[in-house]
Amino acid sequence: MTALHFEATYRNGMIFVPSEYRDLLAQQVEIVVLMKPSMTKPKQMVEVGEEENFIEYMIKNPKKIDDFEPMSREEIYDR
For 66, phi then psi, to 5°, come to: -65, 145
Position 24 scores a pLDDT of 81
Q: Give the largest CA-CA distance in the chain.
A: 61
Position 52 scores a pLDDT of 66
Kindly indicate the confidence band of residue 62, based on its pLDDT and cuts at 50, 70 and 90: confident
**What is the pLDDT averaged over residues 41-67?**
73
Distances (CA, A) of 17 to 6, 10, 22, 31: 8, 10, 6, 12
Name the residue among 23, 14, 12, 20 with its Cα closest to residue 52.
12
- In this structure, the chain runs to a length of 79
Position 40 scores a pLDDT of 53
